[in-house]
Amino acid sequence: MRLSQRATAIQESPIRKLAPLAAAARERGVSIYNLNIGQPDVHTPPEFLKAIAAYTDPVLRYGPSDGLPELREAMCDYFARYDIALDPTEVLITNGGSEAILFAFNVVADDGEEIIIPEPFYTNYNGYAEMANVRVKPVRAHAEDGFHLPADEVLEAAVTPRTRAMLICSPNNPTGTVLSWEELERLAAFARRHDLFLIGDEVYKEFTYDGRRHRSLLELPDVRDRVIVVDSISKRFSACGARVGAVISRNREVMASILKFGQARLCPPTLEQLGAVAAYRLGESYFEAVREEYQRRRDVMFDALTRDPGIVLRRPRGAFYMIVKMAGVEDSDAFAEWLLTDHAVDAETILVAPAGGFYGTPGAGRDEVRIAYVLEVPKLERAAAILLAGLARYRAERHAAAPA
């Protein structure tokens, strides 16, 4: 029987596709440092788990489609700490940030319409675009300038009569870039010029380093009706398996439409929402400790890798990822495979994500990999050494094999 075009077009996760090679390496007795996936190793707050254990109602019934009122209120209190005033009616709880993205795509664009996204970008946007039948229009950001927002001319050139929105992710997965206030203002002007929605994926909001504060699209005064923010507790409270996120907008029409999508999937998970309420009651000190730990990890990885003069890398300012551009690597898929099949130092190797899957433009990012620094410092030091040794060997072998 014939499947839909969508069924064949939807992309396989580029992050998970190296798993069979990693399994084979393990079978040969090689240990692997996983630098390929954004699963934080920080403990979920015990308060979160205790709140779930304290549930006593004999029936786990459906909750409201827009989420538990106490969670929506807890989120408003949390945003108030960042001087962002929100009303609970402007917050709808979703099944993870993932569903928030899907809902946002569905309400801003019709079939075949376009959403501009700077590349490299979080690869699952492709999947949501496929599900919502909208097109991702990539605009290129570059390693050399730390993957900051492309120039206005580049943004303008991407606009077509079908453009409906621009999506930005800051702090960014996969680059770690945090957009400045000036960049957000530039985006606001762009959105007004072309009558676009601005979708902000801000799921890494707390993860900013070097004393920098994350600025939200919700802080922009002149585009209040255009902004839709995607939020999540997955990274905030190291609760990826909870599946609790939110979509936030001050545009009433947008929220009313999103609620209808929410009704169609009934409700987000009740127990995990109760856990989230307890986690939101934790003070700012919870984030300070986590932030310090990730900043240390970022520094370890960055300082080690930039010792190689063939690596292009600007110090990332947020999230827990970096895109590493490497001279001597022409096909990072092959390089990532080689690290698993042919390279090991003292029976240890690393798993990295080839960056091609984070680009919408075919062939882009072939000399880059994404590294997630979600391991403890001693392990990261080891992983960085293995990568540098591998890179040196790979270059030497390729160079030796090249015709004179």
Q: Cα 259 from chain centroid?
A: 24
Give least dist CB 359 to ligand PLP, A: 15
Of 91-99, 131-139, 156-164, 190-198, which segment contacts ligand PLP by CB under 6 A?
A: 91-99
98 near ligand PLP (CB under 6 A): yes
In one-letter notation, the amino acid at residue 312 is V
Contact predicate 139/155, CB 8 Å:
yes
Based on CB atoms, which residue is closest to ligand PLP, 30 or 230? 230
Q: How many residues bind ligand PLP (CB under 6 A)?
A: 13
Least Å distance, CB 49 to ligand PLP, is: 18
Tokens 């997965």 — which residue?
173
Least Å distance, CB 248 to ligand PLP, is: 13
Instruction: Tell me the residue type at 197.
Output: F
Residue appearing with tokens 């957009």: 179
* Contacts of ligand PLP in 361-400 (CB under 6 A): none
Residue window 1-40: x/- pattern of binding to ligand PLP, with contact defined by CB under 6 A: -------------------------------------x--
Question: Least distance from C-beta 255 to ligand PLP, angstroms?
Answer: 19
Neighbouring-strand partners of residue 245: 94, 232
Per-residue binding string, ligand PLP, 267-296, x by CB under 6 A, is ------------------------------
Q: Name the E strands within 95-224.
A: 114-119, 135-140, 163-169, 197-201
Q: Name the residue nearer to ligand PLP (CB basis): 274 or 311.
A: 274
The only residue of 67, 97, 120, 262 in contact with ligand PLP, by rule CB under 6 A: 97
- 3-state helix/strand/coil string of 21-48: HHHHHHHCCCEEEECCCCCCCCCCCHHH
Q: Closer CB to ligand PLP, residue 97 or residue 360? A: 97
The shares of helix, strand and coil residues in the chain, as percent rounded to the nearest 5, are 45, 15, 40
| Residues within window 182-221 making contact with ligand PLP, judged by CB under 6 A | 201, 203
- Examine residue 122 and tell whether it contacts ligand PLP (CB under 6 A): yes
Contact 326/310 with Cβ under 8 angstroms? yes
The phi and psi torsions of 198 (rounded to 5 degrees) equal -115, 115
Binder among 91, 104, 139, 169 for ligand PLP (CB under 6 A): 169
What's the chain's length in residues?
404
Closer residue to ligand PLP, CB minimum distance, 238 or 349: 238
Backbone phi and psi for residue 209, each to the nearest 5 degrees, phi listed first: -120, 175
Contacting ligand PLP within 220-239 (CB under 6 A):
232, 234
CB of 300 vs ligand PLP, minimal distance in Å: 21
Is the Cβ–Cβ distance between 139 and 118 less than 8 Å? Answer: yes
Q: Does the footprint of ligand PLP cover residue 170 (CB under 6 A)?
A: no
Q: Which stretch binds ligand PLP (CB under 6 A): 96-104, 181-189, 252-260, 375-383?
A: 96-104
Q: What is the 3-state secondary structure (H, E, C) of 331-351?
A: CHHHHHHHHHHCCCECCEEEE
**Stretch of 94-102, 150-158, 265-273, 364-372 lying at the interface with ligand PLP (CB under 6 A):** 94-102
For residues 271 and 55, give the distance between their C-alpha atoms in angstroms, rounded to a whole number: 8
Cβ–Cβ < 8 Å for 381, 35: no
Instruction: Rank residues 98 and 273 by Cβ distance to ligand PLP and give the closer one.
Output: 98
- Angle at alpha carbon of residue 401, lines to 400 and 403, rounded to 5°: 100
- Give the residue at shortest CB distance from ligand PLP: 96
Best CA proximity match to 316, nearest among 338, 290, 294: 294
Give the Cα separation of 249 and 295 in Å (integer): 30
Q: Give me the least distance between CB of 9 and ligand PLP, in Å please.
A: 21
Q: Could you list the residues that contact ligand PLP (CB under 6 A)?
A: 38, 96-98, 122, 169, 173, 201, 203, 232, 234, 240, 245
